[in-house]
Amino acid sequence: MDDLATRDLIRYSGRGAFSPGVIERAEGASVFTEDGRELLDFTSGQMSAILGHSHPEIVATVQQQAARLDHLYSGMLSRPVIDLARRLAETLPEPLDKALFLTTGAESNEAALRMAKLVTGKHEIVSFARSWHGMTQAAANATYRAGRVGYGPAAPGNFALPVPDAFHPDIVDSSGELDWRRQLDLGFDLIDAQSVGSLAACIVEPILSSGGVIDLPPGYLAALREKCHERGMLLILDEAQTGLCRTGDWYAFERDGVVPDILTLSKTLGAGLPLAAVLTSAEIEQQAHDRGFLFFTTHVNDPLPAAVGNTVLDVLTRDRLDVRARELGERLTGGLRELAGRHPVIGDVRGRGLLVGLELTAGPDGGDVDKLGAAVTRRCTELGLHMNIVQLPGMGGTFRIAPPLTATEAEIDRGLGILDEALTDVGRQQ
């Protein structure tokens, strides 16, 4: 596989090679290699395939829609686009009732940031110090997790906010617990000191996924929204991985009762196909339009992916996959906590629904947690389980676990069993 990559492909991740084997097909919660191996997929592809791979209704929609109407001039409208905009608005609280459909999360975040700058007349953007919002210009400038070294200067006016990580608290209260209110206050004190008075927006994930599956503490989003609105900033929530039932709610922000000024969706909206969305209020949309908002792309509001999005909403609603994600999430989290009782290297289990983080620690004897995480990942692959590790220096022992919402209880249990065996095997080799 490395020979193939070296010969024919541009490697797009600097921290590692491609996974071993060539994938031939995928079905449900599994992918299959050309040499006949099955891998249970605990990442839902790229954290996207919430209905599993090759869901029969998605397959039928693609076949039928491609034969009828797949792509249009960007100024034309189609029934799938009109229907999807209306139906998404019906799943959201007021005033989020205007939609724009694009292809990737980076693109939707790019459009949201562009809209926020235009509407506010400002240019400064705040995001978390372990954020990942995409690789296009504004999205990459708001991304601090990786990809900042070696590309020249970032756009001026991007500021990092400290991450409220309860497992690794940097500011604590009298009991030693994370004091996120003081941390947030200090973060904005520093931002205010650096700002030139042009704060436009703050963009965050309700659960930082690539940053280590950090679930924002209850109350944090409301406090963050207040900080933003005090400064005339818009709050943008990036629910690429948390939206559409994965956390046990339709949207992760529902838990906190906080409605963003702009919401971005991707990944889960297309259930693995390239579909993203920007949603905002009629008031903000009108202001953007009046000021000449421009985000004209080749595949904006394309009918084929929009038809897939409608089918995704059909299946999520009919099969009550928000409830399913809560139930399976309890089973997964409970099983991981049982493993933590048997494997001292498991330091923390966190997350919501079927977006769960498992953090390994070096243990009392020390050791390299990055190497430990890599070894467990390799052994899981050998045993038939695909797992994803956070690839931040010093955080290489944090797994992002996100099986499809359509996974069975038996598949959850099988994955837990493989992880148990992998931890045991690697532990013997330490």
Find out if CATH 1.10.760.10 is the number for domain 69-318.
no
β-partners of residue 262 are 236, 280
Q: Of residues 368 and 206, which shows the higher confidence score? A: 206
Active-site residue flag, 250: no
What digits encode the pLDDT tens for the residues 212-262?
A: 999 999 999 999 999 999 999 999 999 999 999 999 999 999 999 999 999
CATH placement of domain 2-54+321-429: 3.90.1150.10
As a residue count, the chain comes to 430
The pLDDT of residue 4 is 58
Average predicted confidence (pLDDT) for the chain: 95
Q: Which residue in 238, 285, 302, 359 is the catalytic one? A: 238
Q: Which residue in 249, 379, 400, 411 is the catalytic one? A: 400
- In sequence order, what are the residues at sequence separation of 6 or more whose Cβ sits closer than 8 angstroms to the Cβ of residue 374? 389, 396
Active-site residue flag, 132: yes
Q: Which residue in 267, 324, 326, 352 is the catalytic one? A: 267
What burial class does residue 176 get, using C-beta atoms within 10 Å of its C-beta: 0-12 exposed, 13-18 middle, 19+ buried? exposed
β-partners of residue 155 are none
Which of 48-62, 99-113, 362-376 is least confident?
Answer: 362-376
- In sequence order, what are the residues at sequence separation of 6 or more whose Cβ sits closer than 8 angstroms to the Cβ of residue 273? 58, 62, 305, 308
Q: Which residue in 107, 179, 205, 411 is the catalytic one? A: 205
The pLDDT of residue 20 is 80
Please report, for the chain, the start and end positions of each structural domain, with discontinuous segments joined by +. 2-54+321-429, 69-318
- CA separation for the pair 378, 386 (Å, rounded): 9
Q: Which residue in 124, 179, 239, 241 is the catalytic one? A: 241
Domains 2-54+321-429 and 69-318 share a fold: no
Q: Which residue in 117, 132, 180, 302 is the catalytic one? A: 132
At residue 392 the predicted structure's pLDDT band, cuts being 50, 70 and 90, is: low
What digits encode the pLDDT tens for the residues 63-74?
A: 999 999 999 999
Query: Cβ distance 253 to 259 under 8 Å?
Result: yes
Q: Is the dihedral of CA 282, 283, 284, 289 positive or negative?
A: positive
Cβ–Cβ contacts within 10 Å for residue 275, how many? 28
Torsion of CA 312, 103, 11, 53, to 10 degrees: 10
Phi-psi region of 371 (alpha: psi -120 to 50; beta: other; left: phi over 0): alpha
User: Which stretch of DSSP H or E encloses residue 389?
Assistant: strand 388-389
Which of 37-46, 170-179, 201-210, 362-371 is least confident?
Answer: 362-371
- The DSSP secondary-structure symbol of 203 reads E
Active-site residue flag, 283: no
Taking CA atoms, 23 is separated from 44, 54, 291, 351, in Å, by: 14, 14, 47, 29
What digits encode the pLDDT tens for the residues 333-374?
A: 999 999 999 999 999 999 999 999 999 997 656 678 888 999
Report strand pairing: 276-281 vs 262-265.
antiparallel
Of 126, 127, 212, whose CA–CA distance to 392 is shortest?
A: 212
